[in-house]
Homo-oligomer: A and B are copies of this chain.
């Protein structure tokens, strides 16, 4: 099942790994960060700019596109790639996470989930079969199994039952799959219970997927517990398949997850923070709205090579933010995504040259306390 993944190199001091994920729209160098393009657009950045800063793949949200403009419309338009002018790979989530976090949940049973749209209150039912059909209609290159997202904290009993249900749904997702050229990933659940994580992983491996995601992390459990859950989960996954930590995270989270053997990530943090004026740098986050930047003629990060840092000062970016200008979001998004993608590129390089440990030491040494 995992012929799609070539493990190129493993770090000798950590579990970090360098690989290549083959998709029908070309190879993806891992570890990789996937910018989030919720509504058929990565907010505030053009596809050409995404390519310029090295985005290899983006994520699109099935829940949002199912509701608006509708997967049927996107399919008739030639698929999501054509619709949004993006010809590199797209991974779609299953819609599960948003059904539970955004929709007004009505009921969940063995068959699926009934929810009301956050847009207009209309009632919809999402099942494993429909989730796969929607993702295939969108033309996703990587499709995620439909699962129940477990709130944090949850009891062992609830987590046990939910994880078992997600396991049965994962099997139905595999059976529902029609587009064999797309990759299908299963999602390990199990909450914060290591034995349930292990059982979930084993069930998914038994079913057999092209890759394996770890869901239900970064839900409020704190970084230490999250890292522990990664450690309790990743070793149970096949070494020759890609491993995707969903919805994670901060730059520190990415470095720690890579060092624990994770290959793929997505998170709204770089794009959402950008729109709120929070910018990532090698020395930590800065909030561009602060008065201290009023006349600061330095770029966001003097060590950054991105378009924004080459052409604009902190003073100008603060002015744009204070003036509620569209270019504030555009420039901040460009810089933050460049930071995330560059961070991944530097990790790939470090792993390939057996200097990941050195990279990590340097990464932490440069950061200033917030």
Q: How far is the CA of A330 from the CA of B320 in the complex (A)?
A: 15
Query: How many chain copies does the complex carry?
Result: 2
Given contacts A69-B294, A295-B76, contact A41 B315 (CB under 8 A): no
Contact B39 A323 (CB under 8 A): yes
Contact A84 B326 (CB under 8 A): no
How far in angstroms is the closest Cβ of chain B from A288?
Answer: 13
Q: What are the residues of chain B within 8 A of A84 when measuring CB–CB?
A: 316
Check: A105 CB closer than 8 A to any chain B CB. Answer: no
Q: Which of A305-340 contact B (CB under 8 A)?
A: 311-313, 315-316, 319-320, 322-323, 325-327, 329-330
Q: What are the residues of chain B within 8 A of A325 when measuring CB–CB?
A: 39, 41, 43
0/1 per residue, A66-90, Cβ < 8 Å to B? 0011000100110000011100000
Q: How far is the CA of A330 from the CA of B46 in the complex (A)?
A: 9
Check: A40 CB closer than 8 A to any chain B CB. Answer: yes
Check: A31 CB closer than 8 A to any chain B CB. Answer: no
How far in angstroms is the closest Cβ of chain B from A43?
Answer: 6
Check: A24 CB closer than 8 A to any chain B CB. Answer: no
Interface size class, chain A:
20 to 34
Contact A319 B76 (CB under 8 A): no
Q: What are the residues of chain B within 8 A of A316 when measuring CB–CB?
A: 40, 77, 83-84
Given contacts A323-B68, A326-B326, A329-B326, contact A77 B315 (CB under 8 A): yes
Q: How far is the CA of A316 from the CA of B39 in the complex (A)?
A: 10
Check: A211 CB closer than 8 A to any chain B CB. Answer: no
Q: Which of A83-139 contact B (CB under 8 A)?
A: 83-85
